[in-house]
Amino acid sequence: MSKVVVMDHPLIEQKIGIIRRKETGTKDFRQNISEIAMLIGYEATKDLKLEEVEIETPICKTTVKQLKGKKLALVPILRAGLGMVDGMLSLIPAAKVGHIGLYRDPETLKPVEYYCKLPADCAEREVFVVDPMLATGGSSIAAIQLLKDKGCKSIRLLCIIAAPEGVKAMQEAHPDVDIYIGAMDQKLNDHGYIVPGLGDAGDRIFGTK
Ligand code: PRP
Ligand code: URA
């Protein structure tokens, strides 16, 4: 079964408090989403493998560590996942970025795919899927299935707010995918929104409502 890591850090809690407030405007919402993404990314990259290499400082030869193994890819689920890209890239600037476009049908709550463009060597990379909201889980489950269909084997999911229903569905669908969560909320409402949540993440990041 996959690992579920719920963040436990005062800075993340403070910033999630800001994005939950309905009076927080687009600029502050976007900035805090980006900062939270970086802080979750710090935790989600904690077990990346290192190797020792010999280098020379201006003073002498020494051994340092550098990242080893698979290269990284970042895959935001459009639209709202785009808000997490900058924060993640500030940690892993060499990562390639793929995009998966999915929207949730408001009636059925099922994800509808409209775009997919991934790095050509995505299957050989360690993939970090980012989306601020894990509600029913439908969108993340579909995005990760798409990545697996393209051959990706090593995938993690980073989200800012999750509902227990979505986490359960994700673990059932993809038991090999570890999930890193900023805050675990109470439940979904009748419209599939996370309670207490923060409303529609995409609309709040892009100011479309
Ligand atoms: C939101 C969010 C997730 C999805 C979560 O996207 O960014 O992708 O809903 O819900 P789920 O877990 O029930 O699938 P939305 O469909 O609103 O599209 P948008 O990002 O373009 O606004
Ligand atoms: N998508 C959102 O943007 N917010 C929710 O609460 C659920 C799905």
105 belongs to the catalytic site: no
pLDDT of residue 70: 81
203 belongs to the catalytic site: yes
Going from the Cα of 191 to the center of ligand 2, the distance in angstroms, rounded, reads 9
125 belongs to the catalytic site: no
Decide whether any atom of ligand 2 lies within 6 Å of the 133 Cβ.
Answer: yes
Say if residue 28 carries a ligand binding annotation: no
Strand segments, DSSP code E, in the chain are 4-6, 50-56, 61-67, 72-78, 96-97, 99-104, 111-117, 126-130, 133-134, 154-162, 178-184, 187-188, 194-195
Residues 6+ away with beta carbon under 8 Å from 75: 81, 97, 98, 99, 100, 118, 127, 128, 129, 130, 143, 147
121 belongs to the catalytic site: no
- Both tokens assigned to 114: 């409209």
Ligand nearest the Cα atom of residue 112: 1
Q: Which stretches in the chain have pLDDT values below 70?
A: none
Say if residue 164 carries a ligand binding annotation: no
pLDDT of residue 176: 98
Question: Domain 2-204 carries which CATH code?
Answer: 3.40.50.2020
Decide whether any atom of ligand 2 lies within 6 Å of the 33 Cβ.
Answer: no
Q: Where are the domains of the chain?
A: 2-204
